[in-house]
Copies of this chain bind each other. A is one copy, B any other.
Amino acid sequence: MISVIGYYTTKFGELWNKALFDLVDEALFGVLKETSIEKKQIDAVFFSNMMSGVLENNLHSPSKIAEILGGHIPVFRVEAACASGGTAFHMAVKYLEAHAGKTVIVIGAEKMTDFSPEEVISALTSASSGEEQEAGITFAGLYAMMAQIYFAKYHYTKKNLSYVSYKNHYHGSLNENAQFRRRITRKEAIASPLIAYPFGVLDCSPISDGASAIILTSDKNLLSKKNKAISVLASEIATDTISLKNRAYMDGIEASSIAAQKAFEGAACTRQDIQVAEVHDCFTIAELFAMEDLGFWKKGTAGKRITSLDTMLGNGGRLIVNTSGGLKAAGHPVGATGIKQIGEIFLQLTNQAGKRQVKGAEKGLTHNVGGSGGSAVVSIFSI
């Protein structure tokens, strides 16, 4: 059995006084302190980061992390665009499945705000196809096209999207590490400055700095000493074509569906068993897709289902989504996002989520997507 036994995250936001490896340093030693685990107890580190090569000519992070930690343990850098965190976690799970009695740190970090918006947006497009890059389309543009197809097919509008940002900003207001703590109205969301129709700025996740780390173990002795722990029931990855035009369909993300199907089979539980989920809402439409792709809501119904806001805290729903604030309000430091999602589920299932606690949550799910859906990771956890 593989268990998450600790979590630490830096604040997410515009952290101009911290460089990438300052954030890494804070999260590495933060999670060790949080769990009272010594660094000599750590057998390997899995590091998720997308853009440090492109933005600051900064690669070979295994060695850079070895310098921070001291010693000579294996460190693995994993990159899968915005799904880097979930992918690093997945690889760490496989590593521990191959090794009983080992303990690893999975850490994700990204430094985005030291660069011009043009540089960051260009770096983000490295996760799309060459053709899409050459056409000059951004990720807001790609997801906007997908939203338009969804709207045309199922007769929804911008208004349906506004429930997602309204809800996630409310959740973010309860998360002291979130980039945005301000509650917004649906009206504000709908009227926000246009980015790529139908998205206003309040439909889009921000540019963020941050680092998040968890400790994962297959060591029964260590686990027996920890009263805050959750089990990994399943972690599955699926890929799809990088080019939107080559997908089987565009009103959803097939890689998410495939990964979710396998994860629920692996975890031997049903959608109804999940009380809390962190899904990949890089744009508001992406949360609607996620709810359908993960099998929580039927295809084509998410635009309507979201209007009841029963995935929002305090409304009595059976499944609460993105209590962290999601990518939208908590922020989206790309490499960190997939780890923060797992950390949030850890906090929820161990009853440490404070003002945003989902009472009695016993099973949780995380869903991390790369690019426009070229990769997706779904993991399921239980107390």
Give chain A's interface residues, CB within 8 Å of chain B: 50-51, 53-54, 57-67, 71-81, 83, 87, 90-91, 94-95, 97-99, 122-123, 125-130, 133, 237-243, 246, 254-255, 258, 370-371, 374-375
Contact A374 B66 (CB under 8 A): yes
Contact B54 A81 (CB under 8 A): no
Contact partner, A51, options B50, B59, B81, Cβ 8 Å: B59
* A61, A63, A237, A243: most-surrounded residue (chain B CB, <10 A): A63
How many copies of this chain does one complex carry? 2
Contact partner, A375, options B57, B63, B71, Cβ 8 Å: B63
Contact A258 B72 (CB under 8 A): yes
Contact A94 B87 (CB under 8 A): no
Residues in chain B near residue A77, CB distance under 8 A: 78-80
Apart from A60-B126, A63-B127, A67-B374, list 18 A-B contacts with CB within 8 A.
A51-B53, A53-B59, A53-B79, A57-B133, A63-B80, A63-B242, A64-B129, A66-B241, A66-B375, A67-B129, A72-B258, A73-B238, A73-B239, A74-B90, A76-B80, A94-B95, A94-B99, A98-B98
What are 15 A-B contacts defined by CB distance under 8 Å?
Answer: A53-B59, A53-B79, A54-B54, A58-B130, A59-B127, A62-B83, A62-B87, A63-B242, A66-B375, A67-B129, A72-B238, A72-B239, A72-B254, A94-B95, A97-B99
Question: What is the interface of chain A mostly: helix, strand, loop, or mixed?
Answer: mixed
Residues in chain B near residue A61, CB distance under 8 A: 79
Residues in chain B near residue A54, CB distance under 8 A: 53-54, 57, 59
Contact B67 A241 (CB under 8 A): yes
